[in-house]
Amino acid sequence: MVVLQNEPKKMDLRLTAILYALSDETRLQIVRSLAQTDEIPCGYFDIDMPKSSLSHHFRVLRAAGVITTRKEGTALMNRLRRADLEERFPGVLDSILASMKQKKKPRAPERISRG
C-alpha cells in the first residue's frame, strides 16, 4: 500500500483551502460519495467528464487535505480524511454535507413596484 504525496499533515490543514476545495459542485459530488462509504477507486465515480478534469478535482481535494488517496495495485483508492478534518475544524464537514442534503426552496418571484 502506497499513500500518494501532496497531502498535508493534519496540523497543516487550512480552512481556506478546504472551503475552496469544497466550493466546486464536482468536488462536492466526490465528497458526498465518499461520505457514504469507506473507500472508492477513482474509476468508480459516476461523473461524466474527461479523466484529466476528474484527476484535477481529486488533486485539489487531496492538496487541501479533504481526501487521502492510496495506490492498491493499479487502482487509486480514495477516502475522506473525516477524523483529521473533525479534529482540526469540528463540524465543518458535517455542516457542509448536511447543507447538501437540504433541498433548496424555490424563490418567490420578486415584485416590481411601479411607482
Each residue of 5-57: pLDDT tens digit? 679 999 999 999 999 999 999 999 999 999 999 899 988 888 899 989 999 99
What are the backbone dihedrals phi and psi of residue 36, each rounded to the nearest 5 degrees, phi first? -95, -5
Summarize pLDDT for 52-104 with one digit per residue, the tens.
Answer: 999 999 999 999 999 999 999 999 999 999 999 999 999 999 999 998 776 45
User: Cα separation of 16 and 105, whole Å?
Assistant: 28
Domain ranges of the chain: 2-101
Q: Considering the domain delimited by 2-101, tell me its CATH architecture.
A: Orthogonal Bundle (1.10)
Nearest to 42 by CA among 8, 75, 10: 75
- Residue whose C-alpha cell is 492538496: 63
**The model scores a pTM over 0.75:** yes
